[in-house]
Amino acid sequence: MCAVANDPKDLEDLGGGPGEGPQSALERMIIEAYLAGKNVKLEDLKSLPPEEAQRLMKEASSYASMKLAEVESKAQFRREIHYDV
């Protein structure tokens, strides 16, 4: 599983760089969706008070970790079903 950014200063780690893999892109999408539910954009975090930005990123990172684990779990389950048939 890829690392999540808990600190708003680490937002560049979530940037869609050329070496970004599919899981990193998915992680970024999940974090952006979580923040959108809070009416905040990822790029807006830098303009928030540091405590609030860090709190939101911790929440979003925890949520993304949970969702990525869920996706991995479902994929593993499907592989097991596919190969057990």
The pTM of this model reads 0.69
pLDDT at 57 over 80: yes
Q: What is the pLDDT of residue 19?
A: 59
- Judge whether 54 and 7 are in contact, CB under 8 Å: yes
> Which of 51, 52, 61, 49 is CA-nearest to residue 11?
61
* Contact assessment for residue 34 and residue 68, using Cβ atoms and an 8 Å cutoff: no
- If one compares 63 and 83, the residue with the highest pLDDT of the two is 63
**CB 27 within 8 Å of CB 69:** no
Helix axes 22-37, 50-84, angle to 10 degrees: 130
Residue predicted with more confidence, 77 or 51: 51
Task: Give the pLDDT confidence of 3-55 residue by residue, as tens digits.
Answer: 445 555 555 555 555 556 777 899 999 999 999 999 999 999 999 999 999 99
